[in-house]
Amino acid sequence: MIISVVRTILLYIFVILAIRLMGKRQLSDMQTSELVITMIIADIASIPMQNNSQPILSGIVPILILIAAEITISILMMKIPMLRNAVCGKPEIIIENGTLRQDILRKLRLTTEDLGVLLRQAGVFNIQDVQYCIIETNGNISILQKPEKRQPSMEDLKLPSRDTGIEAVIISDGELLTTSMNLCGIDEQWLRKTLKKEKLSPDEIMMMTCNKLKEYSIIRKCQK
Amino acid sequence: MKRILIAASCLIIALVLCVAEFLCVTETTERIILQTQAVVQEVSQGDTDSALEKAVELEASWEKSVATVDMLLYHDSVDHIEAEIKQLITLLKLGKTSESITTCVAINQQLRILREGEFLNLKNLI
């Protein structure tokens, strides 16, 4: 049994490494080929994990080949649009100017209920509000609402805008995050001074966020 | 560029492992096949002592390669051949010549299957 434990740890490390070598992508953002390869890698790795009589190399070699194939295909897809279309498919416009394209709906084997779910998840409750709805190659949808239904921007309203920069977490569970502090352009001296003003020490803080304008918010730790 | 290097490295490592496996398995199986054939020859000529000597050499030769072969092939197949070699020695010690020839044939057949399984041909691919 100890052999299984060691083999599982080795293969786990190898699979994590393999997935990392293929590039950072969330499961939901994966293209078809990436999803298939991830599933195959998981499947291949599980066999030598369960079966001690199978050499571990018989799991490692196919995974190495799959990594090489995946990277090669992704590089070729960048260079050859025809290959990209063949492997990933093309985005399809499913709603155009509020009109549902039923032929595309049938082609994608989507029901009106499926489309309704996707639209509602994107915050659209009326098909007439949609100027364009595109089914992307990874299965996600992109929606452009009609101009009269879009949320106005500060620019549309001709309001002065304020660049606050990114709101970064500078203290997490009592720990100072120097990278985030650099991102906000603040130093430890400013932080110490601010905490002194708030009569707090870092250990008492669960989360502190700050932006470029040095506007901050603090969440204290709960008393146990 | 970095991704191309990763892909190339993975491919090279995989190919090196495949070639190393092929060379190791074919060399080991061919060597053991020849040694079992020598045992059969000695038994056929009625020289049981010499056959036993050759079988012991065969066992030593197998044990020398077994650690590497075990990393490359199904452990069950490797263990099975090892058991058959031990059985062959016992049969020769007991003077059971016909059974020892049968065991040699079985060992040879298993080794041939292992070796043929490594060849890149249509039969193995399909």
Residue B45 burial (CB count, 10 A): 10
- For A135, phi then psi, to 5°, come to -90, 115
Residue among A53, A55, A68 whose CB faces B11 most closely: A68
**Cβ-Cβ contacts under 8 Å, B7 against chain A:** 67-68, 71-72, 75
* Cβ pair B14:A71 closer than 8 A: no
A22, closest residue in chain B (CA to CA): B3
What Å distances lie between residue A214 and A182, A194, A198, A209, CA to CA?
12, 10, 14, 9
Shortest CA gap A58–chain B (Å): 7
**Residues of chain B positioned with their CB less than 8 A from the CB of A57:** 17, 21, 71-72
* H or E stretch at A209: strand A205-210
Mean confidence (pLDDT) of chain A = 87
pLDDT, residue A77, reads 85
**Residue A142 — pLDDT band, cuts 50, 70, 90?**
very high
Rounded to whole angstroms, how far apart are CA atoms A96 and B124? 52
- The whole-angstrom separation of Cα B66 and Cα A87 is 44
Task: Flag whether pLDDT at A93 surpasses 90.
Answer: yes
Cβ-based contacts of A20 with chain B (< 8 Å): none
Q: A40-67: per-residue pLDDT in tens?
A: 988 888 888 888 888 888 888 999 999 8
The per-residue pLDDT for A88 is 81
Say whether pLDDT at A132 is over 90: yes
**Alpha-carbon span A156 to A148, nearest angstrom:** 12
pLDDT digits (tens, 9 = 90+) for B50-82: 888 888 988 988 888 888 888 888 888 889 999
Neighbours of A222 (CB within 10 A): 6
Coil/strand/helix, residue B74: coil
Confidence check: pLDDT of A224 > 70: no
**Chain centre distance of CA A205:** 28
- Residue B38: strand, helix, or coil: helix
Per-residue model confidence (pLDDT) at position A220: 92
User: Distance (Å, rounded) from C-alpha A176 to C-alpha A188?
Assistant: 9
Coil/strand/helix, residue A221? coil
Instruction: Name, in order, each residue with C-beta under 8 angstroms of B33's C-beta and a sequence gap of 6 or more.
Output: B108, B111, B112, B115
Examine the pLDDT at A26 and tell me if it is beyond 60: no
Question: B24-125 is classed in which CATH architecture?
Answer: Up-down Bundle (1.20)
* A92 closest CA partner among A130, A131, A137: A137
Specify the pLDDT at position B49.
Answer: 84
Which of A23, A61, A68 minimises the CB distance to B17?
A61
Domain assignments of chain B as residue spans, ordered by start: 24-125
What's the CA gap between A221 and A173, in Å, rounded? Answer: 8
- Residues on chain B touching A78 (C-beta within 8 angstroms): none
pLDDT at A209 over 90: yes
Q: What is the DSSP letter of A124?
A: -
Q: How far is B119 from chain A (nearest CA, A)?
A: 16
Q: Which of B112, B108, B103 has the alpha carbon at shortest distance from B83? A: B103
Contact criterion met (CB < 8 Å) for A55 and B11: no
Q: Which CATH class is domain A92-149?
A: alpha beta
Do residues A38 and A45 touch, judged by C-beta distance below 8 A? Answer: no
| Nearest-angstrom CA–CA distance, B66 and A109 | 55
Would the pLDDT of A24 be above 80? no
CATH 3.30.240.20 residue window(s) in chain A: 92-149, 168-220
- 8 A C-beta contact, residue A195 and residue A202: yes
Question: Topology of A168-220 in CATH?
Answer: CRO Repressor (3.30.240)
Chain B interface, mutation test: which of A51, A58, A66, A73, most B Cβ atoms within 10 Å? A58
Query: Sorting pLDDT into bands at 50, 70 and 90, what band is A95?
Result: very high
Question: What is the Rg, in whole angstroms, of the alpha carbon atoms belonging to chain A?
Answer: 25
Q: How confident is the model at residue A101 (pLDDT cuts 50, 70, 90)?
A: very high
Rounded to 10 deg, the angle between the A81-88 and A32-50 helix axes is 60
Token pair 């009326």 is found at: A126
Q: How far apart are CA A147 and CA A15, in angstroms?
A: 47
